[in-house]
Structure 1
Amino acid sequence: GLYDIMAADCRKSIHLAPLDAESLHILAIHFLDGAVARPLVNVLAESSQGNPFFAEQIMLYWRESSLLEWGDQGWCLRSQDYDLFPVPAPALSANARTVLTARLDQLPAELKEMVQIAAVLGREFDVNLLARLLPAEADVDRMLQQAVEANILSVQTPTRYLFTHALLRDAAYDLQLRTRLRTLHQQAAVALEELYAPKLDEHYETLMHHYRHSGDAEKEQYYAHLAAQFASAHYANIDALQFVNRALELTSARNHHTTFELLLLRTKIANTLGDRQQQQRDLESLGALVQTITDHQKQADYYLQCAFYHRVTNDYPAALAAIDEARALAKGIYDMPIQVECSVHRGRVLIQMGDFAQAREDLNAGLAIAYRMESVQKIAECISHLGDIDYYEANYGEAQARFQEALGLYQTLELATGEINCLYMFSVILYKLGQYSLAQRKLQQALERSRAIGWRYSELFILGQLGNNYFDMGDYASAQNYHQQALALCIEIMDQEGEAMSNDTLGLIAFFQHRAATARMHLHAAQKLQMAIGDKHGLAYT
């Protein structure tokens, strides 16, 4: 699939050979809409070095500069002495910018000015935004039409235009002085803030870009922070990481509160991406910062993030201790959202420890608070985890009902992580009930969605479950393939419980294939991990 291609970094460079003289002749005939004299083709070949884009730009320059005339052999250059070609071929072929700059210089002054301002807005731009940067008396529609006729711009929609080539936009941009560009970027940012004020969140990255090039570091930092939050909320985690890193670069080390917020956000992103080393480094930095602030809510947030880290790295006692610290702080300031968060995550940890009775008590307490808060997300989370307990206690009908209720709430919120969890648990229950094909389809859906949002922790669980299902069906080759993928991912993101589970199944596969040494190696590895993390259920099975 596309995800696998991207993950494997299978980029391939395709080296295109230059067009030969015959191909350039055909290109010129189509471009100039008529026969073309051979001497013109020879100059075109020398000037463009066989690059079709350069060739088109050169012919546009000739046509706009009235350097072409119709002769006995078709189109030819006006000067019969091709050695005196008005724009020297070597200069053109040495740098594409020469061709493009020459074309731009042929434009009327007013049109050239508009094209240069448009270049500041990017290769594609909004006409309404451009109009705000032009003089009030400017005839924007007329100039845009002229730019289209000159093959500088193309129409995408009635309000959006595109430079016909990125190099053309770059040339128009680079023709301008740095001081002028800084001013234009500042004006573009202000105009954008005014134009899109009701829906600014989709333009945070663009605003960040304009303020960066205007030299306004304070505004760039502000929008980098917002862009990181927006990207993270929409599962664009790689982008979010870049934005939060930039915001941190621009934040003074003395600004403890903003630094704390940015580090907290980066910790959450690292958790989703399964980057445990980054997560650990940021938690250490947050731990140092939390000693310098008296904000109990921030302190509680820090302890919750510690709990998440300890849970996914299978240090359950440390996770419970961190949750208790957060809950005590939250109760002291009557912070109900953090209290319910503590109940949810305490329940999750207790489920993993096999203490279902206490987990149910914590989750029901959290559910009561969530209903008082009218928090749909937290209600869904509590119901979903209560469904986990029903599943582990083999109450499959009750579990299905809970997951169906939770799924409806998650779909209302358009919360992908919650939907994935429900799909996963539906598949597990369906498999237990003997509906194998439907179970596998649900798992594949959950796997695709996990990969789409970069949720690696979920991905490894689904890979493991797919492996388990294929093992039960006797398809050892597929089971081994999925568990090897899961094992590699578990090691990468430091999930010892998942690592033990995959080692256990790989050991069983090897045993049934009469590979005793390999089986022993995997099973001993599983046993060692399970003893280290206190995974009693897994250890008993191994």
Structure 2
Amino acid sequence: MPELIGRRSELAVLGDALADAAAGSGRLVLVEGDAGVGKTRLVAEFADRAARDGATVLSGGCPQLEADIPYAAFDEALPGTFFTGRADRASEFRRVAETIAGAGRPVVLVLEDLHWADASTRDLLVFLQRALRHAPVLQIGTHRSGEVGGDHPVAGMVAELARQPHAERLRLGPLDPAETTALARGLLGVEPGREMVRVLLSRAEGNPFFTEELIAAWPARGGVPQTVREVVITRLARLTEGARELSRLASVIGRTVSHDLLAELAELSEVDIGGSVRDLVHHGQLVAGEDGYAFRHALIREAIYADLLPGERRTAHARVARLLAARPTPVAELAHHWDAAGEVDQALVASVRAGESASAAFAPAEAGAHYERALRRWREASAPEELTGLDLDTLLERAAAAASMASRNRRAVELTRERLALLDPEAFPERVALANAELAHRAWASADWPLARSANLRALELIPADSPERVAIMAHRAGLAMLSSRHRDALRFAHELLPEAEAAGDTFSYARGVMVLAISSIGTGHVEEGLTYLRRHLALANETRMPRLLGVNYANHPEALVWVDRPEEALTLAREGIARAAEFGFDFYLLLIVGNQVRALAELCRWDEALDAADDPVDQGADAFTRLPMDLARADLYLRRGDRASAAVLLATCADVLTGQDDVQHGTELSALQALLAAREGRWADARAAAGEGLRVAQSADNQHRAARVLAVGLRVEADAGLPDSPAHADALLSAGEAHLAAMAADGALLLARTRRYLALARAEHSRVAAPSPQAWAEVAEVAAHDRHLLGYARFRFAEAVLLTRGARQQAVTALAEASAVAASLKALPLAEDVRALAERARLTLPEVAPAPAGEDPDGLTAREAEVLALVGLGRTNAEIADELFISVKTASVHVSNILRKLGMRSRIQAAAVAQRRGLSP
């Protein structure tokens, strides 16, 4: 049986009821909820626990049959008790009560699916409430709340039973987002992707059965799983024909529908529609609102809609569209129905208008969807330009802009290329130049560096010298060179740009040139000069209060501080950026800024906090490219923690994004991590290939510290592999890597401290293949700086080298003890295993590692805030927190706001993940 997700409070209610029953006070708990919400799973988990604790568990269920079988549930729970030939029903009931009471102490009697209970079962259940009131018996009944409404015979029984002083109703609600994610993780065995979680939350709405079925049917995200369709259609078949027809019409309208529209669409009288709607409400298909209805669950509506024949759908959508067109209706709704009806001209016009409306409302994802529909209908329409007042190029331009704003950059590239295929550069040189400029931006955002550079170059060739757009294209050329780690070119382009931008009064392009000078100066080792430019850029952004300038600074500045070994400053600045993002509206950069926070925390070896920060659900719809920095940092931490499965999932996603791209910033890191993962799994050919690819990409540009990092990894692979040709491979790698760095130095670059650290590590790894050198590893430890994991690894390798060179064993013991302490404090399982294995091989006894002393909360949470955070982790609302801590709701709200601010987070979901990872309990 899979792990039960959530339901802690519900289990506690049942546990308290059993304790009361065991003390001689009989109890009844009626567990209710929608189909698939987990009633059976909850009760089964509780029954198993109760049985292990010594209770006698009796269970039975009511069958779903046309013909009632008397006492079916009781007959299953108490086989042989019924049909004894007694004619006296009262005597029979007393005998059942005596049998239950005498079955043990205490007894748990479970009766499932009471919504299908026959009349005799209902009568006996009511009788038992009096007969077992003072017996050590806990009775648990489950029923679907959506199927016992109104005049359903079970509704009266439930109401009567619930009024008893020893009874209570336990309503199961949907799983929350964190619980849905945990359920998916348990089913998959790995961390679910963010897109999967987003789809599960939007479609399953926390229903565990629907969630499981959607996961089983993945990746068929658009359809309804067959099992779900069968459940819904089978339940619908029990209703009247009028109710079934009305449900089909309602499914065409959408999740919600007004009463008047439904009545007009159905062309029924109020009496007829009233009876049909009542049937649907009573049987849990619809829920009633103030002036209309909604399907109880999105998948119910989808399943009914999917059961319609194509012709039925088109006809119904056309009727809906005509009715809606005659009343005030959002144009997006009209566009959907005209399109589904197959009415091409109306669908095209409405889709264009809907796209314009969504763009004006700053809803780029929705605008993009409408423009895509318009493009699909364009060639089928009778006279598209006359109908819309647009030409095809303008429509493509709008669709590409919306896709880009929604971070669907690969689609934006495709649409922009379609534009360029239509445009004549001789007839429209400036228009083609600007389209190429946009293509360069979108290609960069989708990690296609060759296309980005070639499109930018083409734009510069075509743009007139006096065009006001020329400076912006020059700025993008400098930015592309910087981002592709061609720092020498970037510095040259930036120096050409600044006077042009200043003369043109183009503040944004000028600021971009300053940022390029900052990053590329640091990239070539001129740290103080680069930091001066970064501060100048931030001052300009604050002075102009331009959201894009602020976003760019907070996206780049903290990362650069990490490069130059100032992670504390990087963390402070990243958190400042997160706090200011909503105020100034640069949410487009928010995920990159959160990624900087993650990397700064990882750099400081605050790994739990880094993983917590990476759980922020913000921008889940963004391109995977935007998530690369964060996901690579997470994968690195998972590898250091020994969670290879989670690391592999993230690395596979990152590899899909970077396939075919020579991305120096991210590609080298991806290759390094792929190599480390493969080496850990003994896949030496894969490890060598990954390291080789990383070195190839790194040596095509000027990124010194990434080149040194992947060099160290490549040499570690050779040392770990110990293959016959490893010494020759290692010699070649080290020679090529040192030559590349020497060439950069000869061209004026200075080596960053980070580069020197990785170079020392590379030489120490080489010594494992050539000749063991304790001194090489001592030098790595000396330059480890704040990287405690590197220090622990260096001490482990130092001990290994001491033993191999037959040095002083006490030196090895001391070094291994230090490495063991680091591994324990960071929960770095692979390092701990390596230390333990070496100690066992060398027969060394290491001292016990004392747990790290408890210090102040790393984020400055007060004791009360930590207590509130623990309750947030349990999913408590502010009102519930106030109730439990005897404080006001306002005070609870202030505490939660302070917690989010101190953690640098924006959502309760993320804060709940922090509480759960830290193991906080109220």
Q: TM-score, normalised by structure 2?
A: 0.39
1:232 is matched with which residue: 386, 395, 404? 404
Q: Which residue of 2 aligns with 1:259?
A: 432
Residue correspondence of structure 1 range 79-158 to structure 2 within 5 A: 118=321, 127-128=327-328
Q: Which residue of 1 aligns with 2:699?
A: 531
Q: Return the offset for 1:357.
A: 1.9
Alignment partner of 1:473 is 2:632: no
Give me the whole-angstrom Cα distance separating, in 2, the residues matched to 1:287 and 1:422.
Answer: 31
Residue correspondence of structure 1 range 64-463 to structure 2 within 5 A: 118=321, 127-128=327-328, 169-170=341-342, 173=343, 199=360, 209=374, 213=381, 214-216=383-385, 219-220=390-391, 221-222=393-394, 224-237=396-409, 240-241=412-413, 244=416, 248=420, 253=425, 254-276=427-449, 278-290=451-463, 293-295=464-466, 297-382=468-553, 385-445=556-616, 449=618, 452-456=621-625, 458-463=626-631
Give me the whole-angstrom Cα distance separating, in 2, the residues matched to 1:185 and 1:318.
Answer: 47
Q: Return the offset for 1:339.
A: 0.5
For the structure 1 residues 169 and 489, does the alpha-carbon distance in structure 2 shift closer, same or farther, using more than 3 Å as the test? closer
Q: Return the offset for 1:191.
A: 9.1
Alignment partner of 1:11 is 2:220: yes
Q: Return the offset for 1:537.
A: 1.9
Q: Flag structure 2 segments of 5+ consecutive residues without an equivalent.
A: 1-191, 200-216, 253-265, 268-308, 713-922
The one-letter code sitting in structure 2 at the alignment partner of 1:232 is S
Contact 2:638–2:646 at 8 Å: present in 1 too? yes
Residue aligned with 1:127, SS:
coil
For the structure 1 residues 191 and 473, does the alpha-carbon distance in structure 2 shift closer, same or farther, using more than 3 Å as the test? closer
Q: Return the offset for 1:338.
A: 0.9
Residue aligned with 2:700, SS:
helix
Which structure has more helix as a fraction of its residues? Answer: 1
Q: Return the offset for 1:164.
A: 11
Give me the whole-angstrom Cα distance separating, in 2, the residues matched to 1:539 and 1:160.
Answer: 51
Alignment partner of 1:31 is 2:241: yes
For the structure 1 residues 531 and 125, does the alpha-carbon distance in structure 2 shift closer, same or farther, using more than 3 Å as the test? same
Give me the whole-angstrom Cα distance separating, in 2, the residues matched to 1:197 and 1:491.
Answer: 33
Q: Which residue of 2 aligns with 1:150?
A: none
Deviations 1:160-199 (CA, angstroms, capped at 9, x unpaired):
97799879833xx37xxxxxx59x977x799989x97995
Give me the whole-angstrom Cα distance separating, in 2, the residues matched to 1:430 and 1:283.
Answer: 36
Q: Return the offset for 1:331.
A: 2.6
The one-letter code sitting in structure 2 at the alignment partner of 1:279 is A
Residue aligned with 2:505, SS:
coil
Give me the whole-angstrom Cα distance separating, in 2, the residues matched to 1:514 and 1:191.
Answer: 58
Contact 1:224–1:247 at 8 Å: present in 2 too? yes
**Identical positions, percent:** 13
Give me the whole-angstrom Cα distance separating, in 1, the residues matched to 2:312 and 2:687.
Answer: 67
Give me the whole-angstrom Cα distance separating, in 2, the residues matched to 1:97 and 1:513.
Answer: 55
Q: Which residue of 1 aligns with 2:743?
A: none
Q: Return the offset for 1:200.
A: 7.3
Q: Return the offset for 1:518.
A: 5.0
Give me the whole-angstrom Cα distance separating, in 2, the residues matched to 1:451 and 1:197.
Answer: 20
Give me the whole-angstrom Cα distance separating, in 1, the residues matched to 2:700 and 2:486.
Answer: 9
Give me the whole-angstrom Cα distance separating, in 1, the residues matched to 2:447 and 2:466.
Answer: 28
2:671 is matched with which residue: 487, 503, 506? 503
The one-letter code sitting in structure 2 at the alignment partner of 1:310 is A
Contact 1:384–1:422 at 8 Å: present in 2 too? yes
Give me the whole-angstrom Cα distance separating, in 2, the residues matched to 1:263 and 1:164.
Answer: 33
Contact 2:449–2:663 at 8 Å: present in 1 too? no
Q: Return the offset for 1:536.
A: 2.4
Q: Return the offset for 1:305.
A: 2.6
Contact 1:391–1:399 at 8 Å: present in 2 too? yes
Give me the whole-angstrom Cα distance separating, in 2, the residues matched to 1:487 and 1:386.
Answer: 26
Residue aligned with 1:219, SS:
coil
Q: Flag structure 1 segments of 5+ consecutive residues without an equivalent.
A: 35-51, 57-62, 65-94, 105-111, 130-156, 175-180
Give me the whole-angstrom Cα distance separating, in 1, the residues matched to 2:602 and 2:359.
Answer: 48
Deviations 1:335-388 (CA, angstroms, capped at 9, x unpaired):
222101111233233344443222112223323433443324424533554433
CA RMSD of aligned residues (A): 5.0
For the structure 1 residues 315 and 470, does the alpha-carbon distance in structure 2 shift closer, same or farther, using more than 3 Å as the test? same
Deviations 1:497-529 (CA, angstroms, capped at 9, x unpaired):
433333334444455556655544444443444
Contact 2:478–2:494 at 8 Å: present in 1 too? yes
Q: TM-score, normalised by structure 1?
A: 0.62
Give me the whole-angstrom Cα distance separating, in 2, the residues matched to 1:350 and 1:301.
Answer: 21
Contact 1:301–1:326 at 8 Å: present in 2 too? no
Give me the whole-angstrom Cα distance separating, in 2, the residues matched to 1:508 and 1:96.
Answer: 53
The one-letter code sitting in structure 1 at the alignment partner of 2:576 is E
For the structure 1 residues 127 and 255, does the alpha-carbon distance in structure 2 shift closer, same or farther, using more than 3 Å as the test? farther
Deviations 1:77-128 (CA, angstroms, capped at 9, x unpaired):
xxxxxxxxxxxxxxxxxx9769988x99xxxxxxx9xx69x56xxx976833
Give me the whole-angstrom Cα distance separating, in 1, the residues matched to 2:597 and 2:537.
Answer: 23
For the structure 1 residues 493 and 443, does the alpha-carbon distance in structure 2 shift closer, same or farther, using more than 3 Å as the test? farther
Q: Return the offset for 1:436.
A: 1.9
